[in-house]
Amino acid sequence: MKSITKTFIAIAAVMLWSVSANVNAQCESHSNLCDKKSNQTSCCCAGMNAQKKEPVKMILDADFGSSTDDLFTLMMLHHYIDEGLVDLKGIIVDRMDINNAGVVDIFNTYYGHPDIPIGIERNGVVKPRVFIPYNGICNLKDKDGKLLFKRTKTNDELKNSLEDYKLYRKILSEAENNSISIVAIGFATSLAELMKSGADEYSSLTGAELVQQKVKGVYIQSGRFEPTDSLCGYNMRAASAQSKIFYDMLPKNVDLNMSPSMVGDGMNYLPEDVLADLKDVEINPIKAVYENYKCDTGQRMWDSNCLVQAVYGDEAYNLSPRGWVTFVDKGEESLMLFKEDKNGNARYQIWGDSYFNMEKLMDIRRHNRMRKCCCGK
């Protein structure tokens, strides 16, 4: 039986790689028709034949500067923008250190969307654990002693960017009612500051009132929800007091979609596979991270699952029944308790088998293998 299962998985992997190869072949063919002077820096071809729909209006909130799954999520997000699937209103960097915002600016510049607003956390977790210090790519230099990656914003400009909750308030105040999806794959510090905020130059509403009126759903990497384990996960316990504020103050009309740690635990993007997928590009920010830092530290692809559900909807995952979530602040031992109720606003993704893990991982790899083209734009 084990041999049959392995054979089935191998066949499925070949099929998925075939899809990836066809996409890149289409992209290369399409690129030959493009203006050779095009400055497009990412491939939009994967979505050429996708059914057109209204792009998801989104805010990304992430703790850049430690785990590489944030970087793959941002890379995929730039491709979704090219494909017309996402209208990204802003990026919140909820881990302090200006170089973490610098990494985001490098990615935004590299993938051709340099003008995305960036919000800066100034009151966040003090000296959180850093698993991979990849914000050092901001200072990498080429053989001529010049910075390896182009930047759109200097560190001084980033330091003067809007504070995290202020950018939230600005974006939400300008949005249509019930229109914004928040993808939260970091600490809950910025969300807590937003919830607690009062009237300002952007809106007479409180932060909680703005969220109630403007936010359609929150997609957050948190929780475990196992019969024997109700711990909240690293992101939430790293700022447990702020996490409690967020969950307590989140308006009940806002859809809460959680991706527990176990969903990404089986998605192991090995460093050698990352570099193999990028072997034909000389300069790439993800490649630079994996060439210059030890990335085999137990990293898994947790964060991208929140983004994928936000973009493709509920059909992308098996979901729990509806219910309500209670956050119990116990510091490192903080809990997230789920009580089933058909009228609840919360659901969580249900972790899958090896085929599920492979399918989601292959999708990340497919995006990482996309190359430059303009696709007729």
Got the DSSP string for 143-186?
A: TTSSBSS--SS-HHHHHTSPBHHHHHHHHHHHSPTT-EEEEEES
Mean pLDDT for the chain?
89
**In this model, does residue 21 exceed pLDDT 50?**
no
SS3 251: coil
Which tokens is 375 given? Answer: 């696709």
Question: What is d(CA 139, CA 268) in angstroms, rounded to the nearest whole number?
Answer: 28
- pLDDT at residue 81 above 60? yes
- CATH fold of 49-354 reads Inosine-uridine Nucleoside N-ribohydrolase; Chain A (3.90.245)
pLDDT, tens only, 201-252: 999 999 999 999 999 999 999 999 998 889 999 999 999 999 999 999 999 9
Q: What are phi and psi of 302, to 5 degrees?
A: -80, -50
What is the pLDDT, as a whole number, of residue 228?
Answer: 86
pLDDT at position 270: 97
Mean pLDDT of 348-369: 97
pLDDT value of residue 374: 38
User: Tokens for 256?
Assistant: 């809460």
Query: Residue 227: its pLDDT value, please?
Result: 86
Which tokens in the block code for residue 136? 């050092």
- What's this model's pTM, rounded to 2 decimal places? 0.88
* Tens digits of residue pLDDT in 175-207: 999 999 999 999 999 999 999 999 999 999 999
Residue 119, pLDDT above cutoff 70: yes
> Helices 354-368 and 69-82 sit at what angle, rounded to 10 degrees?
60
Per-residue confidence band for 258, with pLDDT thresholds at 50, 70 and 90: very high
Asked if residue 10 has pLDDT above 80, the reply is no
User: Nearest to residue 305, comparing CAs of 242, 252, 350?
Assistant: 350
Inform me whether the pLDDT recorded for 5 exceeds 70. no
Q: pLDDT at position 13, please?
A: 52
Average pLDDT over residues 125-136: 95
What's the confidence (pLDDT) of residue 53? 81
